Structure 1
Amino acid sequence: MAYMDGITCICDNGRTLEDHRPIVGDDVISGIYRKAASLRGKRVLHVNSTYQSGGVAEMILSLVPLMNNVGIDTRWNILNGDGEFFAITKNFHNALQGQAVAFSDEEKDLYLQTNEAFSGQMAIDHDLVVIHDPQPLPLIRFYRKTQPWVWRCHVDLSNPNPALWEFLKGFVLDYDRMVISHEHYRRRGMPMEQWICRPAIDPLSEKNRDLSEAETAALLAKYGVPTDKPLVTQISRFDKWKDPLGVVEVFSEVKRHVDCRLVLCGSMAPDDPEGWAIYRQVEDAARPLIDAGDVILITAEDHLLVNALQRASAVILQKSLREGFGLTVTEGLWKGRPVIASRVGGIPLQIEDGVTGFLLDPTDTEGFAWRVRQVLENPDLGERLGRAGKEHVRQHFLITRLLSDYLDMLNAELTIQEA
């Protein structure tokens, strides 16, 4: 459960660390308790720009209660911004992932003014501050810094727009640590530690918990998703970097050989003003297939629906052009389903080609279509990939590992501060 109380997100999902013991085992749980022992009573603040829609918010939503559960007083605040602010920061996001975008002085001023105004609503007296992504990055300039600040960047920084990176770097240099998801995202010339911390999913969340066949069937029926044909799905925001138009092209090729149905499901995040424009482009491109009932577009914010769709899928796609990490891949693998995805960003950390799924160049439409056909026509292959993928996630990409990593970071930063 999460709701907003002013700028603070109140999240208590009722799950404890002990609830994860049957999934991850005794050694993992006891190791977390040992790491947390010397940190009890410490105070941590997370700040980002939305409490819903997207992997970052979902990770914080699960991480905060677990940090509190092991004795660390952890809070989560949400930056308040208007539509113009989020249009600017969406462009920042695109530029960090390599798009050529121009920014006016007025836009940069609004970016700073929004952060300055927000700083007046929020006192910071915590032992560690974690700022997520570019939206609240300048906050550090508007406080008297008395504790370590960490910038956690969740996007692909391998080839950022040089002008924007130079602008943002001025703020990043004020931080004590920069946290990234992949070795390739390291930036030259940064004096602080650039620490790799890979994202994770909560196996007990509504999006990932076990569902019965009856629950799955009821959810699909509620949203008008027939199960008379194999389902091919992509779960992602309607975002150009997720290439939903390319997914429609892949499906059109597959459909010529195998009778199946495509579902594109992506909620509309408050901090992503481009979503509806991309949705309309996809709707126009897929109109004949939509009218024939072979393509279904869904924009509902329903984690149980996502869970059901992934479990019911014969194939899960993630045809991203850029990807910071790709938690939708993690989710699909956790459901034991075969995932076919682009060889970009953090996805190859999750998929070993031919072992836990299939990887392709994101522009290889024919290759994607061939792999989808291969899995649809060989269900045993899909089952083998699914089993291996789920075990890989269990070992490397669950929320307990993320909690352990954050405890390591808190221990390290406080040790440096006390030295």
Structure 2
Amino acid sequence: MTPPPTGRGRVLHVNATATGGGVAELLHGLVPAQTTAGTPTGWAVIAGDHDFFRTTKNLHHLLHGTGDAGGLDARAVAHYRAVLAPQARWLAGQVAPGDLLVLHDPQTLGLAPALAAAGARVIWHCHIGTIRPGADGPALVWDTFATDLAAVEGVVTTLPEFAPPSVAAHRRHVVPPAVDPDGPKNRPLSPDIVAATLAATGLVGGRPAADAVATVEQDRPLPPGVRVVAQVARWDPLKDMTGVVRLVPDLPDDVHLVLAGVDPTEIPDDPEGRRVLDEVRAARDAMAGPDRARVHLLLTSLRDETRAALLINAVQRRADVVVHKSLEEGFGLAVTEAMVKRRAVVAADVGGIRRQIEHDRTGLLVDPTNRAAVLAALRRLLAEPSLRHRLGAAAADVVAERFTMARLVRDYRTIVDRRAPRPAVAGPIVEEAR
């Protein structure tokens, strides 16, 4: 852990991993951007063992309206707190009264009481949630962490519905994430660079480079001129990568699917990744030969994050259509990344994605559980280049207006500058996202 530089108005972001996952990716851009904008900012990463991360992944699912309520028992919660206790003491010794600590997602929420007691201002930024009626998981989490939520000055969520009801409305901020259009994952790439980047992995013709930043699992490389559908996501059950693979037999014969995600063996805080990847492999292996040959799995490595980001950039630019078939989604960064590249997106009509895409104007929204609807949307975009162009152009305009890192820095500046009374008395005013 590294504290931010000393000075008035310091900010320290705290999350569970320095690489892999949307929060880490967001912080890689946000921390330097805040510092450049004049806010002294640092970033600390907590540690945890297998049982800790198994519990926090269950919290992740519970907040999405799924998960195992029985898995959040007294023993699991006690272990969660025991893992965080020494780290909370260390962090408390690094902060000064008035510093703002931003705790990201359920992995870090248990740090709040000790840090608030040390005099720090504490904000909890929850990037996940569900808007599905009748979901019991969030209520269980709010009840289990009632003491921790009482210790925070405010809560940041992507949608108002994601916020804990126990946190008064005047202590909530509504702030969607953002992307850096100039970062390696999003910056413009020429067609030649796209082709060369993909060739270096073996995804297209040629042998992979000795230092390739990804492993490709495929029967043969992408043939020249074929149409490509791509999904970029973690190997997580809520991303429904297996469901995407099973669409392939009903897509036109010249359409290939590329599924891309970080090698799950390199992500310590996500114990489900290997199992999901194995399920995807099994679904692919069960296909008839011609269909199996149209499925390409791309496992990127975190050994060189810049090159891996450029590879994902190239994959999305090679795609004719980007799909994001999440069953639940707090906010789809991969959706915004495709939008900034002017790609037409078929995305699940769930959670924060509804804030990103306006149906039939900046993309197509579908019920992710309705296979026929997903297929119809994909076929429509594949068959209509002019529609893809129209949706992609409008999508890029929306990202430039609403989902850039500059806007996120401004939103955080509002939070930093708002000096609120202690949580028991009052807190920050709601900041509606622009």
Structure-2-length-normalised TM-score: 0.84
Provide the C-alpha distance between the structure 2 equivalents of 1:160 and 1:270, rounded to a whole number of angstroms: 28
Query: Cα distance, 1:258 vs. partner?
Result: 4.1
Query: Cα distance, 1:184 vs. partner?
Result: 2.2
Matched residue, 1:233: 230
Matched residue, 1:147: 120
Q: Are positions 1:8 and 2:9 aligned together? A: no
SS of 1:77 mapped into structure 2: strand
Matched residue, 1:107: 76
Q: 5+ unaligned residues in a row in structure 1: which ranges?
A: 1-6, 11-39
Could you tell me whether the CA contact under 8 Å between 1:179 and 1:196 is conserved in 2? yes
Q: Are positions 1:368 and 2:362 aligned together? A: no
Query: Cα distance, 1:413 vs. partner?
Result: 3.1
Matched residue, 1:297: 297
Provide the C-alpha distance between the structure 2 equivalents of 1:389 and 1:371, rounded to a whole number of angstroms: 17
Matched residue, 2:217: none
1:177 to 138, 154, 162: 154
Provide the C-alpha distance between the structure 1 equivalents of 2:229 and 2:74, rounded to a whole number of angstroms: 45
Query: Cα distance, 1:193 vs. partner?
Result: 1.4
Query: Cα distance, 1:360 vs. partner?
Result: 0.7
Q: In the TM superposition, what are the counterparts of 1:386-405 in structure 2 within 5 Å?
A: 386-405=392-411
SS of 1:355 mapped into structure 2: coil
Matched residue, 1:208: 186
Q: 5+ unaligned residues in a row in structure 2: which ranges?
A: 204-221, 302-307, 429-434
Q: Are positions 1:282 and 2:280 aligned together? A: yes
The CA deviation string for residues 82-141 of structure 1, in whole angstroms up to 9 with x for no partner, is: 222111111111111112411232211110011102123332226211100010111122
2:47 to 60, 80, 84: 80
SS of 1:46 mapped into structure 2: strand
The CA deviation string for residues 181-200 of structure 1, in whole angstroms up to 9 with x for no partner, is: 01222332323612100110
Provide the C-alpha distance between the structure 2 equivalents of 1:100 and 1:378, rounded to a whole number of angstroms: 39
Q: Are positions 1:217 and 2:195 aligned together? A: yes
Q: What is the root-mean-square deviation of aligned Cα atoms in Å?
A: 2.3
Q: Are positions 1:312 and 2:309 aligned together? A: no
The one-letter code matched in structure 2 to 1:137 is L
Provide the C-alpha distance between the structure 1 equivalents of 2:124 and 2:51, rounded to a whole number of angstroms: 23
The one-letter code matched in structure 2 to 1:194 is R
Matched residue, 1:328: 334
Query: Cα distance, 1:289 vs. partner?
Result: 4.7
Matched residue, 2:64: 97
Query: Cα distance, 1:293 vs. partner?
Result: 2.1
Query: Cα distance, 1:288 vs. partner?
Result: 4.6
**Cα gap change, 1:110 to 1:377, in 2 (>3 Å):** same
The one-letter code matched in structure 2 to 1:283 is R
Q: When the two structures are aligned, how many residues end up with a matched partner? A: 383
Query: Cα distance, 1:414 vs. partner?
Result: 5.8
SS of 1:81 mapped into structure 2: coil
Percent identity for Structure 1 against Structure 2: 34
Matched residue, 1:348: 354
Query: Cα distance, 1:404 vs. partner?
Result: 0.6
The CA deviation string for residues 188-245 of structure 1, in whole angstroms up to 9 with x for no partner, is: 2323612100110011111111112121111111222225211101000111111112
Could you tell me whether the CA contact under 8 Å between 1:129 and 1:150 is conserved in 2? yes
Provide the C-alpha distance between the structure 2 equivalents of 1:204 and 1:9, rounded to a whole number of angstroms: 27
Provide the C-alpha distance between the structure 2 equivalents of 1:58 and 1:330, rounded to a whole number of angstroms: 13
Could you tell me whether the CA contact under 8 Å between 1:290 and 1:296 is conserved in 2? no
Provide the C-alpha distance between the structure 2 equivalents of 1:233 and 1:9, rounded to a whole number of angstroms: 39
Q: Are positions 1:407 and 2:384 aligned together? A: no
SS of 1:201 mapped into structure 2: coil
SS of 1:231 mapped into structure 2: strand
Provide the C-alpha distance between the structure 2 equivalents of 1:401 and 1:391, rounded to a whole number of angstroms: 14
Identify the range of structure 1 (161-170 vs 90-99) with the bigger mean alpha-carbon deviation. 161-170
1:263 to 258, 262, 282: 258
SS of 1:245 mapped into structure 2: helix
Structure-1-length-normalised TM-score: 0.86
Q: In the TM superposition, what are the counterparts of 1:127-146 in structure 2 within 5 Å?
A: 127-143=99-115, 144-146=117-119
SS of 2:258 mapped into structure 1: strand
Query: Cα distance, 1:145 vs. partner?
Result: 3.4
Provide the C-alpha distance between the structure 1 equivalents of 2:249 and 2:156, rounded to a whole number of angstroms: 40
Provide the C-alpha distance between the structure 1 equivalents of 2:280 and 2:298, rounded to a whole number of angstroms: 12
Provide the C-alpha distance between the structure 2 equivalents of 1:305 and 1:184, rounded to a whole number of angstroms: 35
Could you tell me whether the CA contact under 8 Å between 2:10 and 2:100 is conserved in 1? yes
Matched residue, 2:27: 60
Could you tell me whether the CA contact under 8 Å between 2:157 and 2:163 is conserved in 1? yes
SS of 1:299 mapped into structure 2: strand
Provide the C-alpha distance between the structure 1 equivalents of 2:161 and 2:283, rounded to a whole number of angstroms: 34
SS of 1:135 mapped into structure 2: helix
The one-letter code matched in structure 2 to 1:175 is V
Provide the C-alpha distance between the structure 2 equivalents of 1:262 and 1:76, rounded to a whole number of angstroms: 36
Provide the C-alpha distance between the structure 2 equivalents of 1:290 and 1:81, rounded to a whole number of angstroms: 42
**Cα gap change, 1:259 to 1:289, in 2 (>3 Å):** farther
